[in-house]
């Protein structure tokens, strides 16, 4: 199988990640739930991962990293934890349902939501956010990179606008964490939500959020914490406030090993390799008669995603043909991005998404190009 579905999850993991998970499953107890060596080792391991993650995103304090299952959980915690009835929030049509659905829920509770439209390339711009600000604007919430088109948004400038106006800035880094450099302090990010199983190359069931000092997030859950057992309320100090229950210690061991691999390999090197593969594929398919490519390719500094359709064929039919006839795995359908599909005019047809990893090869890219050409013919 040729795996071109890395925007959904990176299937090929570095060997140290696999080894770390297996080792953890053979040795770690429950962090914070005992004074024996297995429990203490789990606590030390998780704290070590916390340190590596905060350094990776250039944060100021490991306690500001709270671990979750994925970006969806992180975004739900952020959105439901900072917004209140009467607040106004600005977001975009680029967003995944992990942003949209929690916002719709908050809208029913009295939060005002402005959804910025995109241009013909599927882009939104910092000035769009600035123009949407109202006296009661509480937050900007947006993706860093579109999971449908691969377009990357200028979060540094959006963050500056937010900070200048005293607005909270929440970033969904699902498609960019581990590939693009993210500096939460320089980019003025108040809450960064990330998942471990995509560009960070970690196991599924891992993720988290960075919460800047001075920003308070109401917990989504309460329960066991390992400390302050006799208090009726869940502990308020970070990161315990946002980590009720047992953490995925085994998965986090893998995530820590993945960050070590990324630091050793260099995310700049990884990004350049992925973008080179993407560019080769894009140049190979863009002029094939009957093929329509979506997104902004005026720059190749973007997520390694090429999304297309072939004539008026249903995207699912094309995806099945790619897999059955060519052994190529892609993502088809709506990609949990309904407003983006409406903007692109692909709500009925869906779209075929090719997303690349630095583990892919140029030979695989050429086989993908040839497959698209044959199907279009």
CATH of the domain at 361: 3.90.1150.10
Does 149 share its domain with 237?
A: yes
Of 232, 265, 298, the last residue of a domain is 265
CB burial readout 68-87, b (16+ within 10 A) else e: bbbbbbbbbbbbbbbbeeeb
**pLDDT tier at 246 (50, 70, 90 boundaries)?**
confident
pLDDT at 123: 97
**pLDDT tier at 29 (50, 70, 90 boundaries)?**
confident
Cα→Cα distances 106→87, 191, 192, Å: 10, 18, 19
CA-derived radius of gyration, the chain: 21
What distance in Å separates the CA atoms of residue 193 and residue 42, rounded to the nearest whole number?
A: 23
Task: Report if residue 156 sits inside a domain.
Answer: yes
Does 309 share its domain with 273?
A: yes
Q: Which of 68-82, 199-213, 236-250 has the lowest mean pLDDT?
A: 236-250
Q: Are 178 and 265 in contact (CB under 8 A)?
A: no
What distance in Å separates the CA atoms of residue 205 and residue 178, rounded to the nearest whole number?
A: 16
Domain that holds residue 24: 15-265
Q: Are 157 and 127 in contact (CB under 8 A)?
A: no
pLDDT at 139 over 90: yes
Q: Are 143 and 7 in contact (CB under 8 A)?
A: no
Task: Report if residue 136 sits inside a domain.
Answer: yes
Does 148 share its domain with 191?
A: yes
Does 237 share its domain with 272?
A: no
pLDDT at 332: 98
Of 247, 265, 283, the last residue of a domain is 265
pLDDT at 30 over 90: no
pLDDT at 225 over 80: no
Does 226 share its domain with 161?
A: yes
Average pLDDT, stretch 109-127? 97
Does 149 share its domain with 19?
A: yes
> pTM (2 decimals)?
0.96
Average pLDDT, stretch 190-198? 98
* CATH, residue 110: 3.40.640.10
State how many domains the chain has: 2
Does 261 share its domain with 271?
A: no
Of 233, 265, 297, the last residue of a domain is 265
Task: Report if residue 249 sits inside a domain.
Answer: yes
Task: Report if residue 368 sits inside a domain.
Answer: yes
Does 285 share its domain with 256?
A: no
Task: Report if residue 4 sits inside a domain.
Answer: no
Does 219 share its domain with 199?
A: yes
- Render pLDDT for 320-347 as a digit per residue (tens, 0 to 9): 999 999 999 999 999 999 999 999 999 9
Does 194 share its domain with 284?
A: no
SS (H, E, C) the chain: CEECECCCCCCCCCHHHHHHHHHHHCCCCCCCCCCCHHHHHHHHHHHHHHHHHHHHCCCCCHHHEEEECCHHHHHHHHHHHHCCCCCEEEEECCCCHHHHHHHHHHHHCCCEEEEECCCCCCCCCHHHHHHCCCCCEEEEEEECECCCCCCECCHHHHHHHHHHCCCEEEEECCCCECCECCCCCCCCCCEEEEECCCCCCCCCCCEEEEECCCCCCCCCCCCCCCCCCCCCCCCCCCCHHHCCCCCCHHHHHHHHHHHHHHHHHCHHHHHHHHHHHHHHHHHHHCCCCCEEEECCCCCCCCCCEEEEEECCCCHHHHHHHHHHHHCEECECCCCCCHHHHHHHCCCCCCCEEEECCCCCCHHHHHHHHHHHHHHHC
Task: Report if residue 166 sits inside a domain.
Answer: yes
pLDDT at 262 over 90: yes
Task: Report if residue 203 sits inside a domain.
Answer: yes
- Render pLDDT for 71-117 as a digit per residue (tens, 0 to 9): 999 999 999 999 999 999 999 999 999 999 999 999 999 999 999 99
What distance in Å separates the CA atoms of residue 171 and residue 155, rounded to the nearest whole number?
A: 8
What distance in Å separates the CA atoms of residue 172 and residue 314, rounded to the nearest whole number?
A: 29
Does 122 share its domain with 24?
A: yes
Who's near 217: CB < 8 A, 6+ residues apart?
77, 78, 81, 82, 191, 209, 211, 241, 242
pLDDT at 213 over 80: yes
Strands 352-355 and 305-310: antiparallel
What distance in Å separates the CA atoms of residue 258 and residue 16, rounded to the nearest whole number?
A: 7
Task: Report if residue 3 sits inside a domain.
Answer: no
pLDDT at 370: 98
- Render pLDDT for 272-328 as a digit per residue (tens, 0 to 9): 999 999 999 999 999 999 999 999 999 999 999 999 999 999 999 999 999 999 999
What distance in Å separates the CA atoms of residue 337 and residue 154, rounded to the nearest whole number?
A: 20
**pLDDT tier at 41 (50, 70, 90 boundaries)?**
confident
pLDDT at 368: 98
Does 243 share its domain with 297?
A: no
Q: Are 303 and 176 in contact (CB under 8 A)?
A: yes
Who's near 89: CB < 8 A, 6+ residues apart?
83, 103, 106, 111, 112, 113, 114, 137, 138, 139, 140, 141
């Amino acid at each position: 199988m040729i795996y071109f579905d890395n925007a959904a999850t990176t299937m090929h993991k570095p060997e140290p990640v696999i080894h770390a998970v297996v080792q953890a499953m053979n040795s770690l107890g429950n962090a914070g739930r005992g004074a024996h060596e297995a429990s203490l080792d789990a606590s030390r391991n998780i704290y070590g991962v916390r340190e590596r993650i905060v350094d990776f995103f250039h944060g100021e304090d490991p306690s500001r990293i709270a671990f979750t299952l994925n970006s969806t959980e992180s975004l739900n915690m952020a959105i439901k934890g900072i917004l209140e009835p009467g607040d106004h929030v600005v977001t975009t049509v680029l967003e995944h349902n992990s942003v949209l659905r929690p916002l719709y829920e908050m809208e029913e509770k009295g939060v005002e939501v402005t959804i910025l439209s995109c241009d013909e390339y599927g882009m939104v711009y910092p000035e769009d956010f600035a123009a949407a600000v109202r006296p009661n604007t509480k937050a900007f919430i947006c993706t860093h990179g579109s999971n449908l088109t691969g377009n990357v948004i200028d979060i540094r400038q959006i963050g500056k606008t937010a900070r200048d106006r005293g607005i909270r800035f929440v970033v969904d880094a699902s498609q960019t964490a581990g590939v693009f450099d993210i500096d939460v302090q320089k980019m003025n990010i108040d809450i960064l939500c990330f998942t471990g199983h995509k560009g960070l190359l970690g196991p599924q069931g891992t993720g988290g959020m960075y919460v800047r000092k001075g920003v308070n997030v109401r917990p989504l859950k309460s329960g066991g914490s390992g400390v302050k057992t006799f208090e009726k309320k869940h502990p308020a100090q970070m990161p315990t406030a946002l980590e009720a229950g047992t953490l995925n210690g085994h998965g986090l061991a893998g995530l820590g090993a993945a960050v070590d691999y990324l630091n050793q390999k260099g995310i700049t090197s990884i990004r350049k390799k992925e973008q080179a593969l993407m560019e080769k594929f894009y140049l190979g398919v863009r002029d094939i008669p009957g093929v329509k490519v979506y997104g902004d390719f005026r720059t190749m500094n973007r997520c390694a995603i090429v999304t297309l359709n072939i004539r008026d064929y249903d995207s699912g039919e094309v995806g099945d043909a790619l897999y059955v006839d060519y052994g190529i795995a892609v993502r088809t359908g709506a990609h949990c991005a309904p407003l983006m599909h409406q903007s692109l005019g692909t709500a009925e047809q869906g779209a075929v998404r090719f997303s690349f990893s630095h583990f892919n090869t140029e030979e695989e890219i050429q086989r993908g190009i040839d497959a698209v050409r044959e199907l279009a013919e």
